Structure 1
Amino acid sequence: MTTPYEDGGGPPIPRPETAHRLHAAEQAISSADPAVRERAIQEAGEIVQAAHREVAGG
């Protein structure tokens, strides 16, 4: 991820592929299929955890 400010401040800007994955997971959460919803929740969780690690410097 990058930040919108030269000094490194501000919220992180997601990479396009990450934003696409998160958007797809958000849409899949509305699925009628419980297995699809569960996988979408897992995917969103993985994305959030990876973003947290990156922001935290790890």
Structure 2
Amino acid sequence: MPGLLPDTPPANLCDPGDLAPSTPVTDRELELAEALIRELTGINVGEVHDDYVHALE
């Protein structure tokens, strides 16, 4: 019985190593990323209204 996933990954997937930034990440950038994650943690996505998508309809 064949599995649900293909034997080979899709061609558009790249090695995660290719996604590394070309310049080092600064401490300030890490602080900002962590602050953003803290702020977004616990948000109920169902309560968020997307004006852009609504305007396209």
TM-score (norm 1): 0.31
TM-score (norm 2): 0.32
Q: Which has the larger radius of gyration?
A: 2
